[in-house]
Amino acid sequence: MKSTRLLIAGAAAALVPLAAALAQTPDRDTQPSQRSQQGATFESLDANSDGKISKAEAAANENVSAQFSKYDQNGDGFIERAEVNSANTSSPPPSPR
């Protein structure tokens, strides 16, 4: 009886990595354009690798393009990594009461 429980526990433990891998696999029902919108990184948007994202580069991702002014905090027309970090860590403004 004890060996059966041990065998079942071992089999379940062996399946955990497989479940994690499947959870990370892109959904096949999701359109390729939607998948690329979700997985954009600073490096993937910085097409010319100059350390900043221009408006043209940001256009590759609808979400970043729509929020360009939020990320371009100094208004120079480029998003730099420090601006992204700052925008993502700043607390939202207090809501009106």
CATH number at residue 52: 1.10.238
Looking at residue 88, its pLDDT comes to 83
The whole-angstrom separation of Cα 75 and Cα 77 is 6
Q: Specify the number of domains making up the chain.
A: 1
Residue 78 β-bridge partners: 54
* Residue in the block written with tokens 């990594």: 81
Tell me, yes or no, whether 22 lies in a domain.
no
- Residue 1 confidence (pLDDT) above 60: yes
The per-residue pLDDT for range 26-81, each reduced to its tens digit, is 444 444 444 444 568 999 999 999 999 999 999 999 999 999 999 999 999 999 99
Looking at residue 89, its pLDDT comes to 85
Tell me, yes or no, whether 21 lies in a domain.
no
DSSP class of residue 41? Answer: -
CB within 8 A of 74, min separation 6: which ones? 83
Q: What is the pTM of this model?
A: 0.54
Domain that holds residue 71: 32-90
